[in-house]
Amino acid sequence: MSEETKKNDASSEPKESGRGLDAMKVRTQLAGVLHWTDRLGKKLVGAYDRIFSLKEEDEAAIYLDVGVDYATTGKAATAAEALEKSLKLQPNNKDAWYHLGKVRMLMRDLPGAVAAFEKSKELGNDSFDLHFAWSEALADRDDLPGAVVELRAAVALKADAAEAFYRLGVALDKLKKYEEAVVAFEKAIGVSPREVNYYQSLGFTYDTMGQHEKAIGCFKRAVELERRK
């Protein structure tokens, strides 16, 4: 076969669309410009969609990336808009629902946050991050029993989560479940033994229970740690 024939055959072969590669390029390029302005970020997504004829899942992934990035910079309203567009394209994306819940918390839309977290769980999200964030939204709504449920689920998934144990202790103390609160605080201290707040909270719980000697011991330890800072 002559070189000319080979060239002609090669040129006649169908070329790959490269849609997956284009989508990856879009996501990479967007990551570098999202911090400019909200308006530019929104325009770029639409422009890239037209130029590259993105697949629906690729476009949804881009909006998810945009939403998460804006959330990290504190632009909650813009983040929520991007995440809602992602969910319009892929309504069963558990990660998008989780991030929307986090953004709604930033916006102080606690009922909306709880609803988003519930949807994420319904779709199969059983992560530590989900339960921990969900517990915070519930606690902020003064739903302490609900917060306890989510914090127990969180620590069951991550046994070294000192802050989750601490928050569990705080919630249990407020519910007057003092013995359970002591257990939670002690587990937090076991994981992170240099946290002043953990000893202080344990001391207050012991004091409420009438165990004043144990309370004094906790307060002394808290003072020692504070002085070492």
What per-residue confidence (pLDDT) applies to 187? 98
The answer to whether residues 103 and 84 touch, using CB atoms and an 8 Å cutoff, is: no
Closest C-alpha to 166, from 182, 143, 153, 150 = 182
What per-residue confidence (pLDDT) applies to 44? 61
Phi, psi of 178 (to 5 degrees): -65, -40
What per-residue confidence (pLDDT) applies to 130? 98
Distance CA(10)–CA(62), nearest Å, equals 34
Tell me which CATH code domain 20-181 carries: 1.25.40.10
- Kindly write down the DSSP assignment for every residue of 119-139, as one continuous string: HHHHTT---HHHHHHHHHHHH
Query: Among positive and negative, which fits the CA dihedral 82, 126, 168, 194?
Result: negative
Phi, psi of 74 (to 5 degrees): 85, 5
What per-residue confidence (pLDDT) applies to 152? 98
- Can you give the three-state secondary structure of 196-222, one letter per residue? HHHHHHHHHHHHHCCCHHHHHHHHHHH
What per-residue confidence (pLDDT) applies to 29? 52
What per-residue confidence (pLDDT) applies to 16? 39
Tokens of 1: 């076969």
What per-residue confidence (pLDDT) applies to 95? 98
Q: Report the SS3 class of residue 61.
A: helix
Closest C-alpha to 135, from 113, 120, 119, 157 = 113
Tens digit of pLDDT per residue, the chain (229 long)?
554 544 444 444 433 333 444 555 555 555 554 544 555 555 665 665 555 567 888 889 989 998 999 999 999 999 999 999 999 999 999 999 999 999 999 999 999 999 999 999 999 999 999 999 999 999 999 999 999 999 999 999 999 999 999 999 999 999 999 999 999 999 999 999 999 999 999 999 999 999 999 999 999 999 999 998 7
